[in-house]
Amino acid sequence: MSETLGSTAARAGCVISVSHSRVTSGSCSGSGVLLSPDPPGLVLCPGILFSPFLLESEHPDWSQGKVLLSDRFFPGLQIQVLKASGGCSSSSSKADRDCLAGDLGENNPVLRFNPLSNRRGSPHGWKNCDAELLMVAACPRFQEAFSKIFSASDLWHFGGNDFEQEVNSLEQDLPCLHWFALLRILENDSYGASWATCVPAGSLRKGDTVFTCGSPFGSLCPEIFMNTLSKGIVSNLAGANNALLLIDARCLPGTEGGGVFVMSGMGPHLVGIIVAPLCWKSTEWVGLTLVCAIDSILESVAGVLSGSPWLLPMEHVTRSHAMMVHRNGLDRHLLDAVVLVECGSTWGSGVMINSRLLLTCRHVIGGASYVRIRFLTSPNRGSVVKGKVVFATKDTSPYDIALVELEEGLSTLPELPLASAFHPGEDVSIVSFGVFGQACGPSVTSGILSAVITVEDKPVMLQATSAVHGGSSGGALFGTHSGKLLGIVASNTRDNNIGVTYPHLNFSIPITVLRSAILEYIRHGNLHGFQELDRVGGRIQVVWRLQREPVEMPLSKL
């Protein structure tokens, strides 16, 4: 499967570089997707690449309108596409030679042009082709979904389109993120390949495996980074027809415009375009990649190009509805078991053990006697139930856990299967309401069980690599393939000295620590097992303080 994906990515992936002699700060570059290598050779890439080249007299409001044609940008734009070899001319164009030589006039200092300009032949099978801008078009579906999820009050920030560019604020990025550029390759470079096969994002569900193909750092060093693959899952979906996707594949600056693929029995299919590979909520690195659905983009572009010779064949997207995407994520009932726990103005996550009992973290309930439980997935979507806190560990206990009983049970929730053993290296998934709260339901992140920490041969802490964010506390750590509940998410990792949070290293309370207490309460209504969590030994305290256990030194004879 990886070989098929790699060859498809090599055909579809490309690096885009844009420059102009009037802009003295150099070129802009990023990734793109080759929709069709046959004439006219169409390429899709982020519209933000062209924002520095807007005509000063135009000053268009990027948050309004649907399309900007090429006459809204500086004339004489030099656009280059580095793509898989296919007969592109190896001779330099006059524009390239002029740009390389620079303009020695006082008003136009010499440009330090991007490395693509002198890269005509490649031992790696890449070709550099000139291209022209057809249009920059908006995707309203993505914009609408984005505005509902990403609130400016949460201080969202996104990585820039160049690896040296400083992180931009939401106010600066918002007008540009939902715009996409359509390019035409000028050289006749057909080699028999067909249009990229796409699937609509409406066919996806949380937990589906995705692959990304982009070129980190854009044109900086394509010999090394061209068409780099990454793998992850669909963490969340939002908007009409799932126009906005959040995936947990690890991507880097410069991969904006890269393709997101899913696999079916017929091979890989393009499902989205990377919009922002890195994002922060205030000072917290989220570690999720923002993606726009390919069918939403193409439908927006097709509406503008109606009657044009470059009209995109939308039927190659719509007829893909019948394709079955490989499913290897979590079963639906596991997502339904994770709920939002509200305590006043604060919130966190919780896990329904059965139709009436819920586990969450002590710090989520914050000393309250009652909390509100909000169900945001089927079959109980929209239900809000009052819950009584029947037990919470003391602040001195290393186990940050609370037990909540709903005032009215939900018969549609089955009992969760509880794990009795753990296997370091196994695939795991974390389901929680981290980052987005109730804006788009629980998020799913994937990883492995990276360590099982034991005291006296009994697991006392589970360490995993799935991304965990603020709001994830009390969420569920599941075995991806077994579907069993492994633990309750308690925290991620934070360096208090420098104030940095690391979302991909987190800790959960093993369900084996709680299993007997849960069963005792269900069968007899007895809280004795939970009360024992307040009386655990000092070695467990040391583990959960993330400190080394004191080493006993031999007594000196002196």
For residues 88 and 202, the model is more confident at: 202
DSSP annotation of 239 reads S
* Contact status, residue 8 vs residue 271, Cβ threshold 8 Å: no
Catalytic residue among 336, 400, 432, 446: 400
d(C-alpha 227, C-alpha 12), whole Å: 9
Report helix, strand or coil for 203: helix
For residues 181 and 558, the model is more confident at: 181
Instruction: Look at residue 459 in the predicted model and tell me its pLDDT.
Output: 98
d(C-alpha 450, C-alpha 473), whole Å: 19
457 is catalytic: no
pLDDT, tens only, 1-17:
455 676 666 678 889 99
Catalytic residue among 157, 363, 469, 504: 363
Instruction: Look at residue 115 in the predicted model and tell me its pLDDT.
Output: 38
473 is catalytic: yes
* Contact status, residue 174 vs residue 221, Cβ threshold 8 Å: no
Catalytic residue among 29, 117, 473, 491: 473
d(C-alpha 416, C-alpha 518), whole Å: 12
Across the range 209-235, mean pLDDT stands at 91
Q: Which residues, 6+ apart, have CB-to-CB distance to 101 below 8 Å? A: none
SS3 content of the chain, % helix, strand, coil (to 5): 20, 35, 45
pLDDT, tens only, 444-478:
999 999 999 999 999 999 999 999 988 999 999 99
19 is catalytic: no
* Contact status, residue 116 vs residue 154, Cβ threshold 8 Å: no
Question: Exposed (0-12), middle (13-18) or buried (19+): which is 257, by Cβ within 10 Å?
Answer: buried
Q: Which residues, 6+ apart, have CB-to-CB distance to 107 below 8 Å? A: none
Domains of the chain, first to last = 1-85+125-318 (2.40.10.120), 332-545 (2.40.10.120)
**Token pair listed for 87:** 């007969």
Instruction: Look at residue 278 in the predicted model and tell me its pLDDT.
Output: 75
Instruction: Look at residue 192 in the predicted model and tell me its pLDDT.
Output: 47
Q: What is the pTM of this model?
A: 0.85
